Amino acid sequence: MSGLLYLIGLICCIWVIYDVWVINKKLDESSKILWTILAIIANILAAIIYYMVHKRRV
């Protein structure tokens, strides 16, 4: 079970970092660094917060 949770957290971390640096061109450099650090520390929670804040604005 912890292996599955680790894999989900890793996927969430990679998704947030990829989306922040490659897809989301509107963010400034300091916000990108902050989201990257947050994604590394709290990967699943950061992915949920990032989705709610930035991806649902469409």
Structural domain spans, the chain: 2-57
d(CA 13, CA 41): 9
Q: Are 17 and 36 in contact (CB under 8 A)?
A: yes
Chain segment 27-49, per-residue pLDDT in tens: 999 999 999 999 999 989 999 99
Q: What's residue 36's pLDDT?
A: 95
Question: Is residue 25 scored above 90 in pLDDT?
Answer: no
Q: What's residue 58's pLDDT?
A: 52
Confidence of residue 2 (pLDDT cuts 50, 70, 90): confident
Please tell me the pTM assigned to this model: 0.85
d(CA 39, CA 58): 22
d(CA 8, CA 33): 22
